[in-house]
Structure 1
Amino acid sequence: MFKKNLLLFVVLLLVSCHASKSPIATTKKAVSKNTSYSQKNKRTHTSKSRSEVIESTSRTVVTNDIVSSYVLQYKDIAMSNMKTYGIPASIILAQGILESGAGRGNLAVNANNHFGIKCHADWVGDSVRHDDDSSQECFRKYNKASESYRDHALFLTGKGRYASLFTLDKDDYEAWAKGLRKAGYATDPRYPDKLISYIERYNLAEYDAIVLGTKFVPIENQNSRSVNVSSRNDGYYEVQKGDTLYSISKKYNVLVEDLKQKNKLSDNTLSIGQRLKIN
């Protein structure tokens, strides 16, 4: 009788152990498979993104996906400000991208300041210190990004030196970009080129068209742009969408290094509308 009970106990013990091990093995395989799939997708997505360096009040490395996400996040505010204050949405967004590093720059992160606006004598709100043209300059600080967008509009409409901008057509983003630089918004001589480059790469003029109720034509479909090129007679070439130093060097039969030297370029980065010395 004792032997029978012992045998029954051993059988039950073996069955119990087998039943408890099986689910654990299945769960591990499922988790491993899902993790591998997720990592594979992440690598695939990342490989499609291009990175670039945005330099304004800070040096920021972003991808084209980050810039596109920034545009989607703030386009409605930009269009609303265009309706209220008369500043092209394309200009607002391009300045936001450039001045804030697409929302990743130090001032944007630490102070919600998306336009690099300094304190000036009339500012009574919060502020932060940040190195720019001089060490530890005073910059405005906001509770949220939308306040920065509103203050940017009030800054442009309230300063007399920007009054000439509001005589320009609302769909002439090139004139607005050049006008901002001329009025003293930025000291960088390439500031207009940078704004225009963002507007044309990310089709930001589409939001101007929405506000104005006009038809938007993407820049690649505007044939008139292709003939707006400085001839070689004056010794300069105006950079167009899709141009590289290599393609320009082949077009004019000059060496890339010669182009860089003539134009004092430290790298191969070009901006749409930039004028390069060829001869």
Structure 2
Amino acid sequence: MKIKFALFILALFVVSCTSTKPVVRTTTKPKVTTKSKPVTQTKTTTKTTTKPVVVTSPTKSETTDSKPKTDSEVSLVATSNVKTYAEEIQIYVDNFKEIAQNNMRAHGIPASITLAQGILESGAGKGKLALSANNHFGIKCHKEWNGESVKHDDDAAQECFRKYEHPSESYRDHSLFLTSRPRYSNLFKLDKGDYESWAKGLKSAGYATDVKYPDKLIGLIERFELYKYDNEVLSRDFKPSKKEVILAQGGDYYTIQQGDTLYSLSKKFNLKVDDLKKLNNMSDNAISIGQQIKIK
């Protein structure tokens, strides 16, 4: 009996030792199964910088935004309250010139006018509506609109504006907007290449309340030679005549020429930029080719 009892005790001891081993193994397994590769978060979503829909070479526009800009670089202040510069405007023109020409062929609106309005209304594609809704002309929803929309502060808070999948749809809608409103009907009696009359006609028809709106359009068209795209559609070779530089009245006024900026004029006439702005009751640095400004 003593021998049997001793064997029973020994068996219990062996069983208790073997039962502890799985516990030891389970503590080591989590370290083996932790795969470090899926945890790597180096590929964070790089879409944090909302690139302008317009710009085909985003690196170019990003670098121009990061470097300091002088008065001599300023081209205009758009109606979207976004400052834009010559390099950005040229990129915008290159991206949308063919779309504007196609709309000219289909609807009869000068490509130069459409491009200039797009630049001015969208800040060369940098404005909020252009970026969030591909809306380059600030077209509001109106009753007939059944598509997507966004809210944006304009004449009133949180107004309804049309949203497009692609900027080209905005360009097409802009053409349809002008062709379908009776108040713009007189525009289509004008020469398709007469951008000056079109610019003034838009203002007269109530398209914009800004008294400088026609001058701004004409200035953009002549500075960036947008009339060339009208020429291609109309198969002609029109060039605007050079305007007089100094007007009468004892040389107290100057007519803005291509390439002029407030900064360059301040150097030319030995005035400060702020003095020029005060003389002409200007709230920003926007000037247009053909515009007359006081210099004395």
Higher relative contact order (CA 8 A, sep 6+): 2
Partner residue, 1:241: 258
Question: Are residue 66 (structure 1) and residue 88 (structure 2) matched?
Answer: yes
Partner residue, 1:227: 244
Partner residue, 2:139: 117
Query: For the residues of structure 1 that align with 2:284 and 2:103, how far apart are their CA atoms?
Result: 37
TM-fit CA distance, 1:60: 2.4
* SS of equivalent residue, structure 1 residue 104: coil
| Structure-2 change in CA distance of 1:100 and 1:275 (3 Å) | same
The one-letter amino acid paired with 1:56 is T
Q: Deviations over 1:47-79 (max 9, x none)?
A: 79945563323x324332221121111111111
Counterpart mapping for 1:1-279 below 5 A = 50=73, 52=75, 54-57=77-80, 59-217=81-239, 224-227=241-244, 230-232=247-249, 236-245=253-262, 259-277=276-294
Query: For the residues of structure 2 that align with 1:200 and 1:257, how far apart are their CA atoms?
Result: 26
* SS of equivalent residue, structure 1 residue 240: coil
Query: For the residues of structure 1 that align with 2:273 and 2:121, how far apart are their CA atoms?
Result: 30
Report sequence identity in percent.
56
Larger-Rg structure = 2
Which sections of structure 2, spanning at least 5 residues, go unmatched? 1-59
Alignment check: 8 A CA contact 2:246 2:253 kept: no
Alignment check: 8 A CA contact 2:218 2:289 kept: yes
* SS of equivalent residue, structure 1 residue 124: coil
* SS of equivalent residue, structure 1 residue 71: helix
* SS of equivalent residue, structure 2 residue 208: coil
Considering only aligned residues, what root-mean-square deviation do their CA atoms show, in Å?
Answer: 3.1
TM-score, length-scaled by structure 1: 0.71
* SS of equivalent residue, structure 2 residue 117: helix
Query: For the residues of structure 2 that align with 1:114 and 1:68, how far apart are their CA atoms?
Result: 16
| Structure-2 change in CA distance of 1:232 and 1:242 (3 Å) | farther
TM-fit CA distance, 1:215: 1.3
| Structure-2 change in CA distance of 1:273 and 1:226 (3 Å) | closer
TM-fit CA distance, 1:109: 1.1
Structure 1 stretch displaced more, 198-207 or 114-123: 114-123
For these two proteins, the number of residue pairs brought into alignment is 231
Q: Deviations over 1:94-144 (max 9, x none)?
A: 111111111121111111111111122332222111111222111111121
| Structure-2 change in CA distance of 1:234 and 1:186 (3 Å) | farther
* SS of equivalent residue, structure 1 residue 226: coil
Q: Deviations over 1:139-197 (max 9, x none)?
A: 11112111111110000000001011111111111111111111111122211121112
- Structure having the higher helix fraction is 1
